[in-house]
Amino acid sequence: MTAQAELGAHLATSRRGLAELAPSLPQIERWGTDLRERLEGGGRLLVAGNGGSAALAHHLVGELVGRYDRERRAFSALALTAEVAGLTAIGNDYGFDQCFARQVEAHGRAGDLFLGLTTSGRSTNLLLAADAAHRAGLRTWAMTGPTPNPLADASDETLAVACLETPCIQDVQQTAVHLLCLAFELAAGPRKDGDPGW
């Protein structure tokens, strides 16, 4: 297979994955509304992932604290991979498996939301974080690859991507995060001129 053919095959696979995301739009819309209500009520979103999923967690948090595509006030969201001193101290003292759970214990409050991002759904550090979130009274969501998988089983709700290949899962999850951000902003209703809280 030529390089161009292989690139085309990847694009075709990702297109099929994106097409399979369409039935999840009602769930994404509901998630956006739920997230908006929680954050407007003073809650916080905690997001975690490993590798490319960690980068996606940072992306999501940046869109919420900053903005997605329209002006509005800032909302509280933390990527649990962002604070390097704490992350490495926890990993050194308690082991890498505890790197997210310890932060959930520190920052999570009842009514907050924990979102685990993963392609496999099998990362021990995310499973322990979901368990810590439940114990602290947080709602837990997961974005994963195909189900069944352990993180989906451990979460209150899961948005699963049907792709089998990791790059395709990541392509679709990136779009799902953008859709969640859009749903979050649309949940505020029509924009009101001069409304700083929009």
Residue 3 lies in a domain: no
Residue pLDDT, tens place only, 154-180: 999 999 999 999 999 999 999 999 999
Residue 15 lies in a domain: no
Q: What is the CATH number of the domain that holds 60?
A: 3.40.50.10490
* Residue 49 to residues 90, 130, 145, 196, Cα–Cα distance (Å): 16, 12, 13, 32
Q: How many CB atoms neighbour CB 100 within 10 A? A: 30
Residue 118 lies in a domain: yes
Distance CA 182, CA 35 (A): 12
Distance CA 182, CA 191 (A): 14
pLDDT on residue 151: 98
Residue 111 domain boundaries: 42-186
Q: How many domains does the chain have?
A: 1
- Confidence band (pLDDT; 50, 70, 90) for 142? very high
pTM: 0.94
Residue 6 lies in a domain: no
Residue 25 lies in a domain: no
Quote the tokens at residue 80: 């649990």
Residue 10 lies in a domain: no
Residue that the structure tokens 């956006």 belong to: 32
Residue 48 lies in a domain: yes
